[in-house]
Amino acid sequence: MFKKSGPEMKMFFVKTLLIGGVLAMMSVSSAYALKIVSPNTPFGKITSKAGIAVKFDENIAPGTVTDKAVINGSVSGLHTVKISVATTSATLTSEKNFAMGEVLTVTIKSGIQGTSGSVLALPRVFQFFVTSAKKTTPHFFSAQDIGNSDSRGVALGDFNKDGYLDAFLADAAANMLWLNDGKGTFSIQPLGNTGNAVAAGDLNRDGHTDVFIADTGEDKVLLNDGTGNFTAQTLGDSDAGKGAALGDLDGDGDLDAFVANAGADTVWINNGAGIFTPRSMGDSDIGNGAALGDLDGDGDLDAFVANSGADKIWLNNGSGTFTEQSLEDSDISNGAALGDFNGDGYLDVFVANEGADKVLLNDKTGHFAETVLGDSDPGKYIALGDFDGDGDMDAFAANASLTPDRIWLNDGKGVFTKDEQGVGSSSSNSAAVGDLNGDELPDVFVANYGVSKVWLNNTPPEIRDKDGKAIAKEVAVEMDENSKPEAFVLTLTSSDSDNALTARQPLTWSISKPAQHGSASVGGTGSVSYTPAADYDGKDSFDVQLRDGADSVSITVNVTIRMGVPVIFSQNKEIENFISVLMNEDKTDTFSLTLTASNPSKPSSILTWVISSAAAHGTARIPGSNTVNSVSFDYVPNKDYAGRDTFNVQVGNQKGGSVTISVIVDITPENDAPVITGPNFLTAIIERPLEIRLTDLKVVDPDNFYPGEFKMEVSGGQNYTLSGNTLTPAAGFRGELTVPIKVNDGKLDSAVFNLPVEVVPSGDIDGNQKIDLRDVILVLMILTDIQPGDDVTIHLADVNDDHKIGIQELVFILNFVLNH
């Protein structure tokens, strides 16, 4: 995994690019009658599927733009371009996607006309960097060792037109074509010949990716038939070519070549059919590498040459002829790459030196601010790509002398930080960047002295929880020793964006560090199992690893094993959730419950019982000790309650492990005998019948509604006769009768109750066993409604038994009072 260190800046100084004034702005050059106003900088960014919009300063004639635009990708090759016109704009779209991380060179040929008759007099060349598809943290792994020779240069392209990027290695012994299977695995196709540097592109415009080779002796052009078979053409020079770059140097839409030689550099002008004509630059420098780009902003491609002495900028005059500008340095430079590192639209330079590499930032006025990166690696080559997907150009520095290659990550402002860990430890000569395994991340093919390397940029997988939340380092799980009530449960999921695209290798789970006090395993779907050792409680841990075939990630699972919870038994049968008990109402001696508990792994451990949830309709208790294995429980329902009641019983061990069950008590109703608690006031008239009714009694029965369906039984006794429930006092008897009575609620009889009945003379309204003036007053009050009589009073005053009080009753009482 890459870790960024801070930028190492040793010095800044300014180099002036002498071009006869400040950089020419493309939108205001007086050379054009018809002017391009956008793009207004030499270099821009684009996505792999985007169109390229070119805007002019007036409406353009649609018929004049046909075949006037050419797009060459540094990796994807020549594109078939469709041009659509709308007023002042022309939009260029390709029939295929651009390759992520490549540089597009777009040529707008001369001859396009405005509707006013104005003409674009000179061709214009723009460049675009194709940004990465997704942001990531880059991590390179060695996917394959390639050959074992002296490979000097490498170029990527789809040489057999199967849709995958292959690699052409220029080698001091024999050139090689390595064909990609689409997953980043390469197979060799030997070619013969030799080479020091190589550049790939469609040189004869037949739709196939060809090769230009700079070599010691004659340079070569290898024309591809589309299957990876090449026809070689030697160019007849005798220079010692060390670096090569392809680009449209004369604005005619085809690819020309610029070769850095150990002597005079050479420009090779292509006639469009792959036939090249040389133009010597006339210098005597030892050139080691070349890069092409519009450094002065005038709409054509210039050249930057890394020399063993002062580096040079060759300014293009627009037709492929160049003016030399030397830079003020004395470093031994082996390679250079051009890109817009600070996002201002102008080309900057990254230089690989024998000592510290350098970054030259173009300030748009002909000055370059130099940053010394502070490394001391023997730099050989620079390849650019957006390795972290943040939209700017990063750098891969290929180093010699068994020094690790370096990744330099750009912050978007042209400030580079390097990975603290190098990539490999070979003697590298060149490198090429492209997506080699289809995961939409930039990979690197490195040409080495010895074994060359394929470095795949891989996003390591992520371990997530069952809900998809990422787990950074560890996860905690609690369980009970005997998995009751809580067992070990852990389900992990995975995420690996680039592996899902390529399916290079399936994701695999494993236990990378075993548990110390148990056994752990993980299934192919991320389901984790763990079983602690017998009788173990406490802490344990193990590591789970997820691997995508290239990288792996691990997390630690921390397990807390609680002492096994007790197990509750009743009559040797385990009780898991509840136990039921049946009892009768009001009979506590029918409740019987004894429970036994044990800790399976610690039989001698002390257990504690509690009633954790009280009964709602009664009282439950533990009458004896609650710290013994076998405990008896008492339960008394509330008086006269019948139905279901519940209370909870819990037993726990010393370490907090506990188990709870419910005791369900079903209380069946028990019928209670009715109880006669007293009479209403009963009075009988001498020798007159009296009917005793249920309502004359006071009865208590908790089980039944009184009087309801109750029945009454009246028994005989002294001084009265009985007919059913009607008694008649004996002749002449006056005073109190005792009448035995009992009632029945349908099931049970009450106890016998002796009902007192007072026998009084007729007219004795107040019941004092004599008729006097008080009775006269009472009857008058009844007659005049001053005190209406109740049933008892009327019954006592009704001397003629006509169920009403009238004159006869008044006369009878008065006569009785006067005569006695």
Structurally, the chain folds into a number of domains equal to: 5
Query: Hey, what are 317's tokens?
Result: 């005059």
Instruction: Give the pLDDT confidence score for residue 808 in this predicted structure.
Output: 60
Mean pLDDT (whole number) for 130-151 = 84
Residue 783 within any structural domain of the chain: no
Residue 63 in 3-state DSSP? helix
Give the least confident one: 85-94, 371-380, 479-488, 780-789: 780-789
Residue 632 within any structural domain of the chain: yes
The residue among 406, 428, 458 that closes a domain is 458
- Whether residue 171 sits in one domain with residue 116: no
Burial 463-489, CB ≥16 within 10 A → b, else e: bbeeeeeebeeebebebbbbebeeebe
> 636 is in which domain, residue-wise?
567-668
CATH, residue 723: 2.60.40
Instruction: Give the pLDDT confidence score for residue 765 in this predicted structure.
Output: 62
What is the residue type of 562? R
- Whether residue 745 sits in one domain with residue 657: no
- Whether residue 347 sits in one domain with residue 224: yes
Of 649, 668, 721, nearest to 690 by C-alpha is 721
Residue 19 within any structural domain of the chain: no
Query: Hey, what are 542's tokens?
Result: 């193990």
What is the residue type of 19? I
- Whether residue 244 sits in one domain with residue 355: yes
Check residues 434 and 238 and name the one with the higher pLDDT: 434
CATH, residue 84: 2.60.40.3710
Element (H, E) at 215: none
Confidence of residue 587 (pLDDT cuts 50, 70, 90): low
Maximum mean pLDDT: which of 33-37, 614-618, 812-816: 614-618
Say if CB 675 and CB 700 are below 8 A apart: yes
- Whether residue 396 sits in one domain with residue 369: yes
Distance CA 42, CA 14 (A): 21
Maximum mean pLDDT: which of 256-260, 545-549, 799-803: 256-260
Distance CA 144, CA 58 (A): 54
- Whether residue 708 sits in one domain with residue 647: no
Residue 94 within any structural domain of the chain: yes
Q: Distances in Å between the alpha carbon of 347 and those of 22, 126, 161, 317?
A: 15, 11, 32, 18
What is the residue type of 674? P
Give the least confident one: 505-519, 769-783, 786-800: 786-800
Query: Hey, what are 697's tokens?
Result: 């009694």
Give the least confident one: 46-55, 391-400, 492-501: 492-501
Check residues 376 and 372 and name the one with the higher pLDDT: 372
Burial 179-188, CB ≥16 within 10 A → b, else e: bbeebbbbee
Place of tokens 């013994």: 628
Mean pLDDT (whole number) for 100-127 = 93
Distance CA 106, CA 251 (A): 10
Q: Distances in Å between the alpha carbon of 691 and those of 117, 203, 706, 717?
A: 136, 135, 19, 15
Give the sign of the dihedral formed by CA 630, CA 636, CA 637, CA 643: positive
Say if CB 393 and CB 340 are below 8 A apart: yes
The residue among 458, 476, 494 that closes a domain is 458
The residue among 130, 164, 186 that closes a domain is 130
Residue 70 within any structural domain of the chain: yes
Residue 11 within any structural domain of the chain: no
Give the least confident one: 118-132, 284-298, 418-432: 418-432
- Whether residue 80 sits in one domain with residue 149: no
CATH, residue 662: 2.60.40.60
- Whether residue 167 sits in one domain with residue 93: no
- Whether residue 121 sits in one domain with residue 48: yes
Residue-wise pLDDT for 678-714, tens only, equals: 876 688 888 889 999 988 888 888 777 777 778 999 9
Query: Hey, what are 383's tokens?
Result: 């390849």
Which residue spans within 345-471 are E strands per DSSP?
Answer: 348-353, 358-362, 367-372, 379-385, 394-399, 406-410, 416-418, 427-434, 443-457, 462-465
Place of tokens 């991380």: 101
The DSSP string of 757-805 is: EEEE-TT-TT-SSS--HHHHHHHHHHHTTSS---HHHHHHH-TT-SSS-
Residue 775 within any structural domain of the chain: no
Distance CA 359, CA 331 (A): 13
Residue 316 within any structural domain of the chain: yes
CATH, residue 429: 2.130.10.130
How many other CB atoms sit within 10 Å of the CB of residue 349? Answer: 25
SS3 helix, strand, coil % of the chain, rounded to 5? 5, 50, 45
Beta strand 518-522 pairing with 474-480: unpaired
Residue-wise pLDDT for 210-267, tens only, equals: 999 999 989 999 999 999 999 999 998 888 899 999 999 999 999 999 999 998 999 9
- Whether residue 155 sits in one domain with residue 118: no
- Whether residue 659 sits in one domain with residue 573: yes
Check residues 464 and 670 and name the one with the higher pLDDT: 464
Say if CB 383 and CB 432 are below 8 A apart: yes
Instruction: Give the pLDDT confidence score for residue 73 in this predicted structure.
Output: 93
Residue-wise pLDDT for 382-398, tens only, equals: 999 999 889 999 999 99
- Whether residue 709 sits in one domain with residue 647: no
Instruction: Give the pLDDT confidence score for residue 257 in this predicted structure.
Output: 97
Residue-wise pLDDT for 751-773, tens only, equals: 999 999 988 887 666 666 666 65
**Strand order across the beta sheet in which 52-56 lies:** 36-38, 52-56, 89-94, 81-86
Tell me phi and psi for residue 670, to 5 degrees. -125, 120
pLDDT surpasses 80 at 816: no
